[in-house]
Amino acid sequence: MFTDLIPDSAPPVAKADAKVRFLRLLETALANSTFAKLLLSKYVGEEAQLDRLTVREVVLRGERQLSFLWRYQTRDITKNFPLAEALARLSELLGAQFHSAHLQTQSEEVQLVFSRKGRPSLRLGKAPPAVLPVATEAGHDKEKLRYLELSRPFWLDLGVTHLVRGEAQLVPAMSRKWKQINKFIEIFSAALKSSGLSDSPDVHVADFGSGKGYLTFAMHDWLRAQGKRAEVTGVELRDDMVKLCGAAAAKHQMTGLRFDQGDVRSYTPLRLDVMIALHACDIATDYAIHFGLRAGAKVIMCSPCCHKQVRPQMQTPTLLRPLLQHGIHLGQEAEMVTDGLRALLLEAEGYDTQVFEFVALEHTSKNKMILAVKRAQPLSAARRQELLEQIAEIKRFYGIREQELQTLLAA
Ligand SMILES: C[S@@+](CC[C@H](N)C(=O)[O-])C[C@H]1O[C@@H](n2cnc3c(N)ncnc32)[C@H](O)[C@@H]1O
């Protein structure tokens, strides 16, 4: 229970204002060293391009601080503050500049929201996701997370690990991403075998929408550890992230790892055996899949992000109206239809395709994976025709005019 976080000496919870309670929960999570992450959103201030503020804990010259990351549409600004100052700043920002705050501790979650009139309320009660205690994990969990090595020095540069008494340990707020990339590599290792690439000494990989490069570095490091001459390229729209990743790769002399500033929609084709994309936004996933198809990649692996293109086009079939009257079902339906169509299109292009949850929901709500491995034998014309007819029928059923991957393939 969240109330467990409140020390005995605190005044009765029910009497405290929601914002005060929220700040007290945050303070207690910091005192107990259970704080994982804080996200402030619904910005109502005057800076046009400011989107959100994320707050994580860092240790600088032995002092615990909170690192504030202001995310603008095209840049990020980071500032670190000692704990007391950080709490005072957060108190000023909540309600005045941000109307939503989401606190995540190692075992719990709580959300503070402000109404239009500025009235705060706390949302408690949902069983919160567990954050993997990787730094202190027991032998069994360690077994499952063996694919990547936490002690590799580049993780420090990427903010995945920090030094605790001279030893690299996972930053608690990074434990979900760590779980995701470990699972991604675990699944990739099996796909590599079934694609026949495990016999090849060279493997060329492109990671689209590489962001801060977590998966890109992981893929390079793991492939090199398998004795492959891996050539891994991260392609990312944001120049600041490309520079950050490029600098870390250069610092650690990681041969065959590079980061290109580019747009997946117009990226120039390169030799590609494997296309990966972890949470590339909306139709960027379609462009990434299409790029993999054009390049004849043997493995295409992506975990899609949002599904904005299909949802507004979907007309609810009469029979399904009672089910889809709930907003949540509509969202799930749009996701299923989008990823289902992508999978059918990949099948029609000659890939064995699976759609599944690659990590438990508690590690990310974007936990779906589309995995496609190129078949050794081409698809028969009859089977391809059957798949294309299924796609057309599903689109007709839902009234969908356009799905980006299909449009790209048609062009
Ligand atoms: C949600 S982040 C995921 C980052 C990374 N793959 C990860 O999982 O940590 C999506 C990234 O895709 C990038 N992106 C979005 N559209 C893109 C495009 N058209 N071309 C290249 N990168 C794009 C964004 O800038 C962002 O860094």
CA atoms within 13 A on the CB side of 372: 30
Atom of ligand 1 nearest to the CA of 303: 8
- Rounded-to-integer distance, Cα 171 and Cα 57, Å: 8
Q: List, for residues 18-27, the tens digit of each pLDDT value.
A: 898 889 889 8
Q: What's the mean per-residue pLDDT of the chain?
A: 86
Atom of ligand 1 nearest to the CA of 241: 27
Residue identifier of the C-alpha nearest atom 13 of ligand 1: 209
Residue 279 C-alpha to ligand 1 middle, in angstroms? 7
Q: Is the pLDDT of residue 138 over 80?
A: no
Smallest Cα–Cα separation from 239: which of 223, 264, 255, 260? 260
So what's the pLDDT on residue 155?
A: 96
Tokens representing residue 165 in the block: 């008494």
Low-confidence winner among 48-52, 124-128, 259-263, 371-375 (lowest mean pLDDT): 124-128
Burial of 394 (0-12, 13-18, 19+ CB in 10 A): middle
Smallest Cα–Cα separation from 5: which of 149, 75, 110, 98? 110
Higher pLDDT, 168 or 4: 168
Residue 404 C-alpha to ligand 1 middle, in angstroms? 17
Q: Is the pLDDT of residue 9 over 90?
A: no
Task: Please count the other Cβ atoms lying within 10 Å of the Cβ belonging to residue 410.
Answer: 6
Q: Is the pLDDT of residue 130 over 60?
A: no
CB 269 within 8 A of CB 294: yes
Atom of ligand 1 nearest to the CA of 177: 9
Tokens representing residue 311 in the block: 């949802």
For ligand 1, residues with CB inside 6 Å are: 209-212, 214-215, 235-238, 241, 263-265, 278-281, 284, 305
214: pLDDT confidence band, cut at 50, 70 and 90? Answer: very high
So what's the pLDDT on residue 90?
A: 95
Strands (E), 264-334: 274-278, 299-303
So what's the pLDDT on residue 158?
A: 96
So what's the pLDDT on residue 344?
A: 97
For the chain, which domains are there?
2-123 (no CATH), 154-410 (3.40.50.150)
Mutate to test the pocket of ligand 1, among 52, 72, 260, 279 (most ligand atoms within 8 A of CB): 279
139: pLDDT confidence band, cut at 50, 70 and 90? Answer: very low
Residue identifier of the C-alpha nearest atom 26 of ligand 1: 211
Residue 305 C-alpha to ligand 1 middle, in angstroms? 10
- Residue 247: C-alpha distances to residues 33, 217, 328, 333 (Å): 31, 12, 42, 42
In sequence order, the 6+-apart residues with CB closer than 8 A to the CB of 152 are: 221
So what's the pLDDT on residue 144?
A: 46
Give the bridge partners for 81, in sequence order.
Answer: 66
pTM of the model: 0.68
16: pLDDT confidence band, cut at 50, 70 and 90? Answer: low
Q: List, for residues 268-291, the tens digit of each pLDDT value.
A: 867 899 999 999 888 899 999 999
Residue identifier of the C-alpha nearest atom 23 of ligand 1: 209
Q: List, for residues 375-390, the tens digit of each pLDDT value.
A: 999 899 999 999 999 9
| Percent of the residues in the chain that have a pLDDT greater than 70, as a whole number | 90
Mutate to test the pocket of ligand 1, among 265, 267, 281 (most ligand atoms within 8 A of CB): 281
Q: Is the pLDDT of residue 114 over 70?
A: yes
Q: List, for residues 176-190, the tens digit of each pLDDT value.
A: 999 999 999 999 999
Residue 215 C-alpha to ligand 1 middle, in angstroms? 12
Q: List, for residues 290-307, the tens digit of each pLDDT value.
A: 999 999 999 999 999 877
CB 302 within 8 A of CB 285: yes
